[in-house]
Amino acid sequence: MANDTLVKLALAPLLLAQALHVRRVALELPEPPGPRAGRTGNGTPLRLLILGDSSAAGVGASDQSLALSGQLAAILGKSHALHWQLEAATGATSASALARLERLENMRFDAALIVLGVNDVTHATPLARFLSRRRAIHRALRHRFGVSRILASGLPPMGHFPLLPQPLRWTLGLTAARFDAALARLCADDGCAHLPLDLPYEARFVATDGFHPSEAAYGRWAEMLAPLLATPQHGADLPPAPSGLS
């Protein structure tokens, strides 16, 4: 049994009380307005699907142009004729994202970015079930949508989320780290890329709710992701992965 599971069992009454308190007092930020699909730039064609949860949906930003999808599109549009589409929702788990993907009209994408996992952790999804659903997402992306480049953004370091009190913050941080390590191994087995979400623990990178990324964090995150989603030029290999890439 994992260490975080043992801790959760030992501290179950306290952790439950803290989780209920967080739900009562948490500032609920909306998903920002703005386009969730678009075309931009010139150059090598690139069709990108972004699938995910509230962070993919841009919670913490004032507009989609300053959220992850908008800032990522701005970067990729400098070198590509980019066609992008965002399929994300607050509260999305790997299960609900898979269902959303299955309802999506068949179309072709070159690359897909997956931003999921936090809600699987907070909903106490068993690790094996989380990995099974992620593998099903990979299969659907390849077989239904023709995706050749899949990038999974790693789970954030929940042990540093200001909103969460201790020891809830610590235990969720342990679980998120365990899930992310397993996700990295799954991606290696499935031929996908995995990028750890390695942002500095600075106040400017946290939204006002103490849980989601800020606009500055979305910008830094987009800079980390863009090289791994870009189409190789003239038969070249993908750009070198940032430090820590699995």
pLDDT, tens only, 78-93? 999 999 999 999 999 9
Question: Residue 187: enclosing H or E segment and its boundaries?
Answer: helix 168-190
What pLDDT sits at residue 1?
64
Provide the pLDDT confidence category of residue 27 given band limits of 50, 70 and 90. Answer: confident
Provide the pLDDT confidence category of residue 201 given band limits of 50, 70 and 90. Answer: confident
**Domain spans, the chain:** 3-28+36-229
Of residues 172, 177, 174, the one with CA closest to residue 198: 177
Of 2-16, 102-116, 162-176, the range with the lowest mean pLDDT is 2-16
pLDDT > 70: percent of the chain: 92
What pLDDT sits at residue 6?
72
What pLDDT sits at residue 19?
83
What pLDDT sits at residue 191?
97
Backbone Cα Rg of the chain: 18
What pLDDT sits at residue 192?
98
Q: Per-residue pLDDT for 23 more than 60?
A: yes
Q: Kindly state the average pLDDT of the residues 118-122.
A: 97
Mean pLDDT of the chain: 91
- Any residues with CB less than 8 A from the CB of 239 and at least 6 apart, and which? 227, 228, 230
The greatest distance separating any two alpha carbons of the chain, rounded to the nearest whole angstrom, comes to 58
CB under 8 A, 24+ apart: contacts of 205-209: 206/161, 206/162, 207/29, 207/59, 207/60, 207/61, 208/27, 208/29, 208/60, 209/26, 209/27, 209/28, 209/29, 209/59, 209/60, 209/163
Identify how many contiguous H helices and E strands the chain contains and give both numbers.
8, 6
Q: CA-to-CA distance for 80 and 73, rounded, in angstroms?
A: 10
What's the token pair of residue 40?
Answer: 């931009």
What's the token pair of residue 94?
Answer: 């790997």
Q: Per-residue pLDDT for 235 more than 50?
A: no
- Any residues with CB less than 8 A from the CB of 196 and at least 6 apart, and which? 154, 180, 184, 244, 245, 246
Pairwise pLDDT comparison (80 vs 27), residue with the higher score: 80
Q: Per-residue pLDDT for 238 more than 70?
A: no
Classified as helix, coil or strand, 82 is strand
What pLDDT sits at residue 246?
35
Across the strands, what pairs with 149? Answer: 111
Question: Residue 137: enclosing H or E segment and its boundaries?
Answer: helix 127-145
Q: CA-to-CA distance for 227 and 229, rounded, in angstroms?
A: 6
Of residues 41, 83, 86, 75, the one with CA closest to residue 223: 75
Q: Per-residue pLDDT for 213 more than 50?
A: yes
Provide the pLDDT confidence category of residue 236 given band limits of 50, 70 and 90. Answer: very low
**pTM for the full predicted model:** 0.89
**Domain formed by 3-28+36-229, architecture:** 3-Layer(aba) Sandwich (3.40)
Q: Kindly state the average pLDDT of the residues 66-77.
A: 98
What pLDDT sits at residue 144?
96
